[in-house]
Amino acid sequence: MHASASPHARLTALGLVLPPAPKPAGVYKPCLVVGQHVYVSGHGPLRNDGTMISGRVGADLDTAAGKAAARQVGLAILATLVAGLGSLDRVARVVKVLGLVNATPEFAEQPLVINGCSELFVEIWGPDHGVGVRSAVGAGSLPGNIAVEIEALFELA
């Protein structure tokens, strides 16, 4: 695929299917535009059928399954961006990703898990604009026992 392809064109070329944009599960907005940025609330690993990937990484899921869950979170974030902005082409770059991994106390591969989302964003926005600053941390639990929760900040085009 050509490096200058738009984010929407990359999504289409990769044949990715986005889950339905998740509805808020509390008192918050899924995404909020402030100036030249769009903030995306914490998302879980929403599958296309509306279910979530659940379990603790290091017990119920191995690192590879956690990484797949993080990629699924990335797809849910993309769905929210499309629903909120109309098109991924409105996003110029990834600014920040904060990833929380529902992990056992001894699990220490949180960055490898969150790479599932980060690598997806590179596929969409390329190696320069698809990588921002990032934190990948372990959590003792997450809502609904979901495997991963990720929030992100993007700069608008």
Beta carbons of 91 and 33 less than 8 angstroms apart:
no
pLDDT category, 1, cuts 50, 70, 90? Answer: very low
pLDDT value for 3: 54
Q: Residue 49 in 3-state DSSP?
A: coil
pLDDT category, 25, cuts 50, 70, 90? Answer: confident
Q: Which residue from 70, 80, 75, 77 is spatially nearest to 14, judged by alpha carbons?
A: 75
The residue-averaged pLDDT of 100-118 equals: 98
| Distance set, CA 83 to CA 40, 45, 49 (Å) | 12, 17, 17
Q: What is the CATH number of domain 7-156?
A: 3.30.1330.40
Beta carbons of 38 and 91 less than 8 angstroms apart:
yes
